[in-house]
Amino acid sequence: MTGYLLRRAGQAVVVLAGVSVLVFSLIHLVRGDPIRLALGTRFSQETYDALRERSGLDLPLVQQYLTWAGRAVTGDLGVSFRSGDTVTSLIAERLPATLTLALASLLVALVIALPLGMLSALHPRSLVDRLATVVSQFGISVPDFWLSIMLILVFAGTLGWLPSGGYVPLTEDPLGWLQRLVLPAVATGVVSGSVITRFVRSSMLEALGSDHVRTAQAKGVPTRQVLTWHVLRNALLPLVTVTGVQLAYLLSGVVVVEIVFSWPGLGQLAYQAVRDRDFPVLQGAVLLFALVFLVINLLVDLLYSRIDPRIARR
């Protein structure tokens, strides 16, 4: 298993190196001078020269990449063109909001997906199965921005039960934090839960139709034991995969939902960086998103090897 994990970690490092080259190229693929684009029309030559030197854009291209990559390894992602703050501090400031929303959304998704998917698989072509299909199809088809607006109109505007947006740290106001978290978590959780529901149903149906499950049932093994030791165990692999992908997607920032709810997460930070042409911030955000996907994929591989040790021997 150690060799398997080292091999997967090495592959992740190679992919991250390739992504870093693409991310670094962002600032050089834009037409024009990125610093002039960021500063606008009113700036002094001293300001321009200082920002250019501070960003390392006065160096040869290869040296720029090596300097930027070396600093990125140590956590130094550069300095924002707009605010002058370090990119690392801007990301660290937004990270708690993103983590909160991602974990809450995943919890909502699993609460929706696991019961619906399992009941749908255990009772195919029944009323429950049709209901699960309708719910999952609705969640996949409806745009998340429309669902977000509808939730605000109903629960914040008409009923007045919850705030329409904003963010309050948990340590400052636990109740306010929870109230502002519910609507964006539901908006993103419904979409992710709909995707996971289909995977749970299909993986459960496949496991239920396998030969070893039919053999266990023919031998009179209790239904609960069959479901626990034979069906669920074999259905875990695709469930772990899709859950990991959804978590990485949520941690990478749900841009539209964050904008609608004025949620100060990493998705909104990346959007603001694009709008303001703040290339160092955009580079840091995209590199972090890639790192999140790679780390979660590595954790999924680790869970794979724990669930099915045969994978580690391949």
142-195 pLDDT, tens digit each: 888 888 899 999 998 888 888 888 888 888 888 988 999 999 999 888 888 888
How many whole angstroms separate alpha carbon 286 and alpha carbon 283?
5
pTM of the predicted protein model:
0.80
Tokens for 153, please give them.
């109109």
How many whole angstroms separate alpha carbon 217 and alpha carbon 222?
8
CB distance 134 to 121 below 8 Å: no
End-to-end CA distance of the chain: 10
pLDDT single digits (tens) 294-312: 888 888 777 776 666 665 5
Task: Mention every residue, 6+ apart, whose C-beta is less than 8 A from residue 112.
Answer: 135, 139, 189, 190, 193, 194, 196, 197
- For every one of its 314 residues, what pLDDT tens digit does the chain have, with 9 covering 90 and above? 667 677 777 888 888 888 888 888 876 776 666 677 666 666 677 777 777 777 777 777 788 888 888 888 888 888 887 777 888 999 998 888 888 888 999 899 889 888 888 888 888 888 888 888 888 888 888 888 888 899 999 998 888 888 888 888 888 888 988 999 999 999 888 888 888 888 888 887 777 777 666 776 676 666 666 666 667 767 777 777 788 888 888 887 678 888 888 888 888 888 888 877 788 888 888 888 888 888 888 887 777 766 666 655 55
pLDDT score, position 152: 92
Assign 86 to helix, strand or coil.
strand
Question: Tokens 């990119």 map to which residue?
Answer: 87
Question: Tokens 């979409």 map to which residue?
Answer: 191
**Mean residue pLDDT across the chain:** 80
Please report how many Cα atoms fall inside a 13 Å half-sphere around the Cα of residue 18, on the Cβ side: 7
Assign 165 to helix, strand or coil.
coil
Give the bridge partners for 86, in sequence order: 79
